[in-house]
């Protein structure tokens, strides 16, 4: 019986054909989309990942003057045609709807009326002339000889403000998916125009849109401010591409139009150009700052400045000899070159004051621009430089230069030229005699780079805490500011400067308050207190009491308190550095010298030597602009 019972309880074995058995697939773990692995699985490769890297700096330079062997691009994007809104203006209590062309000019005025240009008489006068030109001869404003102050544009201004406000609210209300969709659509439309095929490699264009129509503003007190910049059409544009490349097709909106001309000139690097309707200047389209063409020009520019450094002593000896010459022409040539070298001035071109703003350089300085102080042997230069930026500098000059400048100004009227016996052409020829292809800009590049090199060489442990990246960066920013001041790279105080400073000061106050709380808690821990007694912090700053967030948690130990105090101390130092540097650089355009005048290899070498990340000095745009400089060694010297 027992044996029968055991047999019944014994499980039955099933004979299975192994060939017919189905393998069970291992289950795949589900990953959240927000995780890094999930994001990698959802990643889609783009063209940029497979684009070959153009290491042009490792190739031999082409010395036959040919810029490219193949060039293909899609031309330019044009501003869309104007759609009238038929909002009337008010003239003598009459509502008048302007023709579309005049209505568009009125829109331009409404956009500029709230800026500084809206109060300038020259701007208003030129705008009014531009508006009347767009009206038919029998229009009421022309027949009655209406003046600007008799017309009220407030209806159009209100309408445009409402459209802007609605667009901003719509943009704010968009979801993340909608913003990404709009971005993809924009990239799909503009993508073909933003790149060119240059020597069979894809290069990014610098600009691919024509300038939109509007009222010309210019720099400073430009005599043509307020004139109408007309809309650009394909008939204004000249293209440059390879003879075997397809001619770019025009957008369907431009049906019935045609390109002005198509060139095949491999000795130039521009893709296309058109003429500005206000100044009749050519507006060229080039490849972007990070392209091989621009990179090669930058590299050769800085190499030329380094070559000047090897001959600077000979050149200075030569122009000092001319400063002592009896011939007045040689005396002026030597003194002008001295000012280019020591003060990093621009050479200055002769200009028609009726056509351009009254900006001057070295050769076009007038007696009214200079003031002498004989006791201190200093001169004060006060004039409008490039882009109508005021140059105001008091500097002590060499006694010989002081004597020569005084001689050149003697018995002259205030409007007379100081260097009246030489011109920019004569000075440039003299510079080329000193060194091939030498110009005033080479002097500026050399002086900017050597000044940066000399300033950075002063860094050591006795000057800066070399263990702190923020302190090293502050030292670099101070050197950069010295160069910007030398080159007169100024700017107006940004509109958001005070707001940014208030935010930084608020963050500093919060950090200080948190440190105070931790220090009070640390003292409380060292004092005897009852078992259930709770720490309470009394605020030292009344302003911080409302928005204060306590950093002291229940049961916080003494070691943790010391660590937090040390962290906040470093954070406070960093915040103080940021506040001081932001306030010191509020009127200095330090980025201009980084982009155009200081050899980037000096900065990269400095970063490698002191183990400072390049990202702290060069933003993404500059790193793309100077890829060749990223290979500089830590022992590079300009």
Specify the DSSP class assigned to residue 467: T
Of 70, 117, 597, 631, the active-site residue reads 597
| Residues 359, 362, 363, 368, CA torsion sign | positive
Q: How far apart are CA 490 and CA 513, in angstroms?
A: 37
Pairing of strands 214-215, 228-229: antiparallel
Contact (Cβ atoms closer than 8 angstroms) between residue 357 and residue 220? yes
Decide if 430 is catalytic: no
Q: How far apart are CA 77 and CA 618, in angstroms?
A: 31
Q: How far apart are CA 107 and CA 118, in angstroms?
A: 13
Q: How far apart are CA 430 and CA 435, in angstroms?
A: 9
Q: What string of H, E and C letters represents the secondary structure of 478-506? A: HHHHHHHHHCCCECCCCCCHHHHHHHHHH
Contact (Cβ atoms closer than 8 angstroms) between residue 82 and residue 104? yes
The set of residues, in sequence order, having a beta carbon less than 8 Å from that of 373 and lying 6+ positions away, is: 379, 380, 394
Residue in the block written with tokens 């531009």: 130
Q: How far apart are CA 220 and CA 351, in angstroms?
A: 15
Contact (Cβ atoms closer than 8 angstroms) between residue 289 and residue 629? no
Q: How far apart are CA 412 and CA 50, in angstroms?
A: 67
Q: How far apart are CA 443 and CA 340, in angstroms?
A: 7
- State the DSSP H helix or E strand holding residue 167, giving kind and residue range, or none if neither: helix 154-173
Strands (E), 101-248: 151-152, 195-198, 201-204, 214-215, 228-229, 238-240
Q: How far apart are CA 565 and CA 514, in angstroms?
A: 9
Contact (Cβ atoms closer than 8 angstroms) between residue 388 and residue 220? yes
Q: How far apart are CA 331 and CA 325, in angstroms?
A: 6
Q: Which residues are catalytic?
A: 597
């Amino acid at each position: 019986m027992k044996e029968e019972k055991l047999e019944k309880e014994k499980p039955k074995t099933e004979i299975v054909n192994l060939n017919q058995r189905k393998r069970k697939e291992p289950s795949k773990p589900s990953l959240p989309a927000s995780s890094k692995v999930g994001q990698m699985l959802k990643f889609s490769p783009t063209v940029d990942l497979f684009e070959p890297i153009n290491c042009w700096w490792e190739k031999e330079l082409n010395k036959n003057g040919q810029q490219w062997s193949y060039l293909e691009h899609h031309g330019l994007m044009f501003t869309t045609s104007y759609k009238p809104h038929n909002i009337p203006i008010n003239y003598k209590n009459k509502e008048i709807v302007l023709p579309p062309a005049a209505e568009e000019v009125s829109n331009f005025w409404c956009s500029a009326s709230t800026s500084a240009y809206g109060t300038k008489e020259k701007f208003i006068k030129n705008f009014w002339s531009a508006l009347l030109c767009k009206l038919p001869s029998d229009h009421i404003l022309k027949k009655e000889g209406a003046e600007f102050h008799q017309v009220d544009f407030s209806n159009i201004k209100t309408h445009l403000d409402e459209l802007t406000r609605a667009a901003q609210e719509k943009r704010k209300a968009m979801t993340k998916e909608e913003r990404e969709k709009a971005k993809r659509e924009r990239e799909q439309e503009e993508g073909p125009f933003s790149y060119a095929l240059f020597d069979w490699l894809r290069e990014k264009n610098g600009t691919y849109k024509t300038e939109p129509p509007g009222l010309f503003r210019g720099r400073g007190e430009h005599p043509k401010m307020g004139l109408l910049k007309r809309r650009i059409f394909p008939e204004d544009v000249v293209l440059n591409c390879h003879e075997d490349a397809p001619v770019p097709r025009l957008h369907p909106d431009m049906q019935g139009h045609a390109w002005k001309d198509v060139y095949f000139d491999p000795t130039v690097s521009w893709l296309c150009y058109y003429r500005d309707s206000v100044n009749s200047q050519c507006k060229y389209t080039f490849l972007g700052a990070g392209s091989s063409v621009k990179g090669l020009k930058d590299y050769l520019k800085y190499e030329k400045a380094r070559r000047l450094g090897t001959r600077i002593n000979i050149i200075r000896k030569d122009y000092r000899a001319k400063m002592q010459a009896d011939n007045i022409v040689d005396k002026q040539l030597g003194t002008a070159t001295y000012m280019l070298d020591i003060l990093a001035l621009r050479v200055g071109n002769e200009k028609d004051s009726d056509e351009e703003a009254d900006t001057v350089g070295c050769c076009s300085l007038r007696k009214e621009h200079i003031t002498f102080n004989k006791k201190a042997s200093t001169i004060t230069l006060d004039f409008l430089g490039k882009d109508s930026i005021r140059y105001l500098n008091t500097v002590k000059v060499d006694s010989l230069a002081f004597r020569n400048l005084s001689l050149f100004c003697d018995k002259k009227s205030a409007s007379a030229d100081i260097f009246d016996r030489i011109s920019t052409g004569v000075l440039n020829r003299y510079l080329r005699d000193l060194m091939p292809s030498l110009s005033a800009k080479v002097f500026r590049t050399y002086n900017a780079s050597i000044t940066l090199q000399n300033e950075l060489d002063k860094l050591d442990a006795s000057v800066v805490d070399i263990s702190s990246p923020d302190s090293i960066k502050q030292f670099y920013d101070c050197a950069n500011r010295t160069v910007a001041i030398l080159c007169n790279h100024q700017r107006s105080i940004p509109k958001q400067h005070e707001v940014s400073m208030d935010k930084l000061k608020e963050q500093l106050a919060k950090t200080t308050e948190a440190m105070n709380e931790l220090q009070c808690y640390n003292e409380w821990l060292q004092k005897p207190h009852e078992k259930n007694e709770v720490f309470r912090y009394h605020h030292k700053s009344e302003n911080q009491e409302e928005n204060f967030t306590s950093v002291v948690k229940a049961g916080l130990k003494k070691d943790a308190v010391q660590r937090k105090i040390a962290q906040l101390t470093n954070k406070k130092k960093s915040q103080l550095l940021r506040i001081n540097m932001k306030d010191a650089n509020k009127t200095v355009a330090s980025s201009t010298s980084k982009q155009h005048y200081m050899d980037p290899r000096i900065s990269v070498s400095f970063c490698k030597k002191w183990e400072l990340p390049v990202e702290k000095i060069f933003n993404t745009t500059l790193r793309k602009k100077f890829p060749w400089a990223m290979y500089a060694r830590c022992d590079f010297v300009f």
